[in-house]
Structure 1
Amino acid sequence: MEHPHGGLDAVVETSAWPVALRLTLLLATAFVAGVGVVRPLAPALPRRVVLSVAVASALSAALAVVSAVAMDVAVVGAVAHVVLVAAVPALLGRAGPARAVAVALAVLLVVETAAGRSGVEFVADTVYVAGAVTWFGLAVLALTVPAAEVASGLRPRQLALALGVALVGAGAVRLVASGVAFDRRLYGTWFGLALLAVVALPLAATLLGPARAYRYGTVGVVLAFVAWSGLAAVPRPDELPTPGVPVLAEKTLAGKRVPVLVAPHRPGRNLVHFPASAGDGIRVGAVPALPRAGAEGTWAEVDLPAGRSEIVLTSGSDTAVVDVDTGAGGGPRVDPECASAALGGLIAGRRDVLAACPSDRLSTVDEQALRKLVSFLVARGAGGITLAADSTPRGVDAARVVREEAAGAGVAIDAEPRPDNALVTVSGWESAHASLTAAGAHQAERAVYAHGVYLAPWLLTTPLATAVTTVSVPLRFDPREPLPIGYAVAVGNRFGGANPTPAGFEAWLGDRAVDDGVRIFAAAQVTAMPAGPDEAHGPGMPMNEELAGQWVPKTTVVPVSALLT
C-alpha cells in the first residue's frame, strides 16, 4: 500500500474529485507564480491581468484549505501554500517583493509536485515545473503588455526555444526513467499516454515559433503541465509479462486496488492468488477464487494457453484484465508455498524464471535444523516422536532425517498421538494444517504431546502457527530482527497486508544469507513477550501488539532455547 508523503501532492487516489482538485490547485498556483516571477520585466501589469491573478490566487488558496481539511495533507504545507499564493497578487505593485514571493511559491510547487521522488526524477520534476511556470508568466506578458513596454533585452524567440527545450528534455528524462518508453505500454496505458503528452505538447509549442507559441502553444503547455501533475494519480502500469516469470499485478475491482499473483506463468495449470484483503467473490474466468487449507487469501486454479492471452477477473459486476504471456515451455507444479516464494522474489525486484519449488528438495540448512531439533527433544526426555510427513521429495527426505536421528538416540517414531510424545510436522502447508487441526482435536479430548508440537522451519506461517495454541520451530533467524521485519513489512505493503512466510523470506533475501545458528522459537497466542534465554529483553520490534512487521499477528514469537549444537 502507498503512504502519502505529506505535501499537497499526497492525494493520489484515482477517484475523480481528488484528482480534479489536485490538478486545478497546481495549475492555478503555477499561473500565479509565473506572473509573479516575470513581474519585474514590465513597468506595470494591465488591470485584467492583476484581476486574473487575484482570482487564481483565491482559487488556489481555497483548494489548499479544502485539501488540508478533507484529505490527508500536511497542515503546515497547506498554510505555507495559502500564505505565499495570497501574497503574490497583494505585492504585484512592487516588482521585487512580488518576484521573491513568487519564486518561493514556485519552490513550494516543486515540492508539492515532486515530493517522494529523488535522483533523476526529482531533477526532471524541478526543471519541468520551473519551465512551465516561467512559460506561463512570459505568455501573459507577451499577450497583454505592449512589446515596447517590456524590459529591453528580452528575446521572446530565444526564451521560447530555451523553455521548450527544457520542458521537452525534462519530459524525455522522465519518460525514459519510467521504463515504458520502449514497449507497448507507452501507447497502451494511460500512464504511457500521459508521458507522451508531457514530451509531445511542449515540442509542438516550441515548433510554432515565439509569436504563435505564446498565443497558441501555451494551450499545449497547459495540457502538458496538467498531464505531468496528473502522473501521480495515474497507476503505474505493470511490468510486461515474461514467460516463466510469475506475474505480480494490481487491478481495480469493486472500487479498490487488488493485488494478484499468477504462477508459474507457463502453459497449463496455473495458480492465481489474491490476498485476504481482496475479499470473497472474485472469479478468474469461470473459476471462483477460494481459500485453501494452510494458506492465506484465496486461490484459483486455471489453465492458460501457450503464448500471449488475458486473464479476466470478476468481482460482482466489475471486471479487470491481467495480461499474460506463458511462452511455450513447461514449468513446475505450483502450490501456495511455491507461489509465496515467487512473490518474495518479485517484491525484492527480481524477475527470475520459476524453475523449482521449495517442496522439490530438502535444503542442507533445513536438514541440519531437523537433526538438531531431534537432539533437542531427546535431551528434554521426550518419550517418542509422532511424525507427520507427506509424499513430496522434501517431505520424504525430512521424514528420513528425523527417523535416522531418532533411531540413533533410541527414540521411537510413532504414527499415532501419545501422551509422552512430541509431534513433529515436516510436510507441506496443506498436510501440516490437517495434522495440526487433528492435534488440536486430540489435545482437547485427552492429554497428548506433553513435549510439545513442533514444525519444520518452512512452516512458520500464520495459518499454521495459529492452528493450535502453541507451536515451536527450529529457526536460523530471529523474526524480531531488522531483516525479517523488513521483509514482513514489504510483503504486507505490496500484497494487500499478506503475512510473511519462510519461503518468501528466503526468496526475498536472494544472495544474502541469515544464519544466526539454530534455536527453538515458540509461537504462542498470548499478549506477553517473555525474554528468551540469556536475553535482557527481546530485540527489534515488540511482538505483543498488532504492529507492521510481525510474522504472526497477535502471536508472541520468542526463542525458548539457547543455540543448538
Structure 2
Amino acid sequence: MTSVSFSTSFATLVPAGGLLPAGPAGDAPALLRAVAGAAPAVLAAGPSDGVPFVDTALRLVLLTALAVVAGSGLVRVLADAPGRAERVVAGVAALVAVSAAVAAVTRSGAGISGWTLLLLLATVAVPALLAGPRPVLAIAPALVVTGLLAIQLAGTPSAPWFALDAGYAVAGALAAGAALHLATATDPAPRAARVRIVGIAAGAVGVVLAAVRVALAGPFSLTDLHGTGYGRAVLVTVLAPAAVAALLAVQAWVTRRATAGTRSDAVRAAELRDRLRTPVVLAALAAVGAATLPAALPAPAPGATPGRALLRSVDLGAGPLTLAVSPMRPGPNLVQLTGGGVEVTGPDARMPAGHGDPGAPAGYAVRVGDRVVPFTARTEVRGGWALVDLPAGTSSITLTAGGLTRSVPVDVGTERTAPAGATGPDAPECLSATVGRIVTGGDATVGNCPSEALDPADAGALRGIVRALGGQGAPGLAIAGDASPRSRAAADVVRAEAAAAGLPVRPAAGPQDALLVVSGWQLAATTVRDTARAALTTPTALGGTYLAPWLLTGGVLGQSPGTLLPLDFGPQEPAPQRYVRLLAAVAPGSAPSLSGLRAWAATSGETYADPVPSLYAAAPVDVPMTADTDGGHHGSPNEAAWFPGGAVVRIGSALDTGPGTPAGPTP
C-alpha cells in the first residue's frame, strides 16, 4: 500500500471546499475543553469546520505525539531496550506534545490546571526513563499518557462513542509504539516477532473499532464518506490501521520464509523489511492523526429519508451554506441554499476563490441529471431557491458554483404523495416549520403546512385587530388575501368580526382606510411593498398596514417603513430568542418565523405565548444590529434577527379576542 505523508494527509482531510455535514458547530477540541479550559472566544466557530484551524492543528499534533510517547513506553513489556534512534524519536515526540499543550494553554488564556501538569509530567517521564538503566519503568508513565490520550480522543465517559474512541486510542498508541520500535530497533528475532504480533493485533482492533463507529455514527452515505472532511477523516481511521496490520503481516510472512530459506532469501527479506519500516510508521501516525479530526468537524448529516426534509451544511468554497430539500418525494422539490453573510443569487453572489470558470454561469445552481436549475431570490425570504423535479430513484443532486461541484445524497423513495403547499407559494413557510422541529431534534417529516389551516390563536388575534380598529372609528378596512385555506378562513373571520363591529370592508384600501394582510409570505411581501410605494405619491391606507401574525418575517416586514401586527409574544423575550439562536447555530442563514417558533416550541416543550395578543409595530432602524465578541458593533444588520435591520416593539395593551360585543383598546 502506498503511504501518505502526514502533511499531505492533513491537507486532504481538512479541505476548505469539502462538503460538511449538517449540525451544530463542531465540538471544541477536547484539549481545550478538558485540559486548558478554553475561553469562549477560543472556541468560536471557524470558517468552515466549526473549530478554528489553529485549534484543530494543535489537537492533531498533541494527540499524535502523545500516541508515539505512550506507545514507545507500552511496548517495553515485550521489547528489548530501545535503541538510540527510538529514544530520540520518543524525546522529540514528548517535546512536541509539551509544546502543543503549552500553546493551547496560552491560546486559551487559562491557567495551568492539574490535568495539564499531569500530562506534562507523564509525557516527559517516558523518554527520560527510556534513556535510563531500566527502560521497562517507562511503562508506568506510558499508561498514564495512554489514559490521558484516551480521554482527550474520546471525551467524557458519557459521550456516545466513548468506549469505541477510547479503545481506538489504546490500539493506536500500541500500533504507533510497535511501528516505531520495529523501525528503529534491532531485537533478536523472537522479541521482534512478539512486538510485530502486538502491532498486527492493535491494527486489527483499530480497524474493527473504527468500522463499528462509522456504521453507528456515520457518515451514512458513500457520497459523504469520500466527499466530506469528516468522511475522509473516519475513512482514514479505518484504512490506516488496516495498512499497519497488513504491512506488519507481510513483514512477518517474509521473515518466516527467510528463516527456512537461503542466505540470499534472508538478505532480500531484510531489504523488504527495511522498505516497509517507514510506511508502517506513517500509517500508524495517520491512524491516530485522523482520529483527532472528527471532534473538530460537524457531526455527519443523517441519511436522507423519503418524506423527511433534508437539512445539512455544504461548503462550495465561499464559506458554509445551509442546504434544505423538501418534501423529499418524487416530483417537485423545493431546494433552499443560504448562509450567514453569503449571497447565493444576483450580482453579489460570492463565488469560490480560484474556481472561476469563464464558461460556467454566474451564481449557484442545482443539477439533477442533465437539467440545471439556477437558484433565484424570493422577495419574501432570503437565500437562494430552486424548484427541481426529482424522479423516483434519484440518489443525489449536484450543487454547482462556477466551476466547482458538490454532490449531496438524497432519497425520495417511490411514493408520490406530498403535503399540500410543500412546493407552492407558501413552501418557504412550510419548510421553516419543518426546520423548527429539526433544529431541536424533532421529526423531519414534512407534514401539514401552516397555510393549510388557520390556527385558533391567529383567528383570535385577527378578531382583536378588527375590534381595535372598530373601537378607534376607522372609516373602513381592506383585506389582502390569497387562495390558501388559511387565508380564506382568515378573511372569513375578519369579515364576520367587521360586520359585528360595523366596520365597512372595501375591495381596496381608500386613503384613510386600514389594510389587513392575511395572505401567505409571497403575496404579502408584494402587497406591503406596493402599498408603501403607492403611499409615496397618493394617500393610501393611512389607517395603517396590519399583518396577520404569521407574517412576522424579515422578508415581509422589510418591504415597508412601518407595519403593525398582533402577537402573543415579544420577539426579544427569552424563549423566542433561544429559538433564534438555535436556528442560527444549526441552520445559518435561515430566517426565523412564527411557524418555525411554534414547531420548535411544540417539539421542545418550551412555553412562549402570552394568554392574549398585543399590538406590535415593526419598522427599520438605522443603527448597527450585530455585536463583536468584545462588545463592539458591526455596521451590518443581524441576519438571524426576526427583523434584520429593524425592530419589532410592543405599542399597545392586550387586544380583546374573547366572545361578546366587539370592543378593544385603541392601538
Band of TM-score, shorter chain = 0.7 to 0.9
Does the alignment pair 1:263 with 2:263?
A: no
Segment drifting more, 385-394 vs 476-485: 476-485
What do residues 148-194 of structure 1 show as CA deviations (whole Å, max 9, x unaligned)?
999xxxx979977986786466435533430457x656976665575
1:307 to 378, 381, 393: 393
Aligned to 1:521: 616
1:467 corresponds to 2:550: no
**CA offset at residue 429 of structure 1?**
1.0
Amino acid at match of 1:292: R
Q: Which amino acid aligns with 1:551?
A: W
Shift of residue 4 of structure 1?
A: 6.1
- Where relative contact order (Cα < 8 A, 6+ residues apart) is larger, the structure is 2
Q: Give yes or no for the alignment of 1:409 onto 2:472.
A: no
1:279 aligns with one of 329, 344, 354: 344
**Shift in Å, 1:236:** 5.0
Structure 2 unpaired stretches of 5+: 1-23, 33-42, 254-272, 346-362, 624-635, 657-667
Matches within 5 A, 1:127-526: 127-137=167-177, 144=185, 167=206, 170-171=209-210, 174-180=213-219, 191=230, 195=234, 198=237, 212=252, 221-232=284-295, 237-275=300-338, 277-280=342-345, 281-285=363-367, 286-326=372-412, 327-331=414-418, 332-333=420-421, 334=423, 335-445=427-537, 448-511=540-603, 512=605, 514=607, 515-517=609-611, 518-526=613-621
Q: Per the alignment, do residues 314 and 169 of structure 1 end up closer, same or farther by CA in structure 2, a change over 3 Å counting?
A: closer
- Give the CA deviation at 1:392: 1.8
Cα shift at 1:456? 0.5
Aligned equivalents of 1:475 and 1:261: distance in 2?
A: 28
Q: In structure 1, list runs of 5 or more residues that go unmatched.
A: 529-544
Q: 1:7 touches 1:77 (CA, 8 Å); kept in 2?
A: no
Q: Identical aligned pairs, as a percentage?
A: 33
Report the residue type matching 1:282 in the other structure. Y
Deviation by residue 1:419-438 (Cα, 9 ceiling, x = unmatched): 54332111111211122112
Q: Return the letter of the residue paired with 1:35.
A: S
1:553 equivalent in structure 2: 644
The alignment covers a number of residue pairs equal to: 542
The question of whether the paired residues in 2 share the 8 Å contact of 1:294 and 1:430 is answered with: yes
User: Residue deviations 1:117-167, cap 9 Å, x none?
Assistant: 9523234333322443345446656774868999xxxx9799779867864
Q: Distance in 2 between matches of 1:170 and 1:78?
A: 33
Counterpart of 2:5?
Answer: none
Note the alpha carbon deviations across 1:310-350, whole angstroms, 9 max, x for none.
32221111112233333241323423222222332333334
Q: Is the 8 A contact 1:5 1:116 kept in 2?
A: no
Cα RMSD after superposing both structures: 4.5
SS at match of 1:394: helix
User: Structure 2 counterpart of 1:2, which letter?
Assistant: A
Name the CA distance, whole Å, in 2 between partners of 1:199 and 1:77: 37
The answer (yes or no) to whether the contact 1:486–1:549 under 8 Å persists in 2 is no
Report if the CA contact (8 A) 1:258-1:278 is conserved: no
SS at match of 2:376: coil
The corresponding residue for 1:531 is: none
2:628 is matched with none
Q: Could you list the per-position Cα deviations for residues 471-511 of structure 1 after superposition, in whole angstroms to 9, with x for gaps in the alignment?
A: 22222333233332222122222323322011222233345
What is the letter of the counterpart of residue 108 of structure 2?
A: A
Following TM superposition, by how much is the alpha carbon of 1:39 offset from its aligned partner in structure 2, in angstroms?
6.9
**Shift in CA distance, 158/317, structure 1 to aligned 2, threshold 3 Å:** closer
Structure-1 separation of matches of 2:428 and 2:53: 39
Q: Could you say which residue in structure 2 is the equivalent of 1:539?
A: none
Letter aligned with residue 315 of structure 1: A
**Letter matched to residue 306 of structure 2:** P
Q: TM-score, normalised on structure 1?
A: 0.79
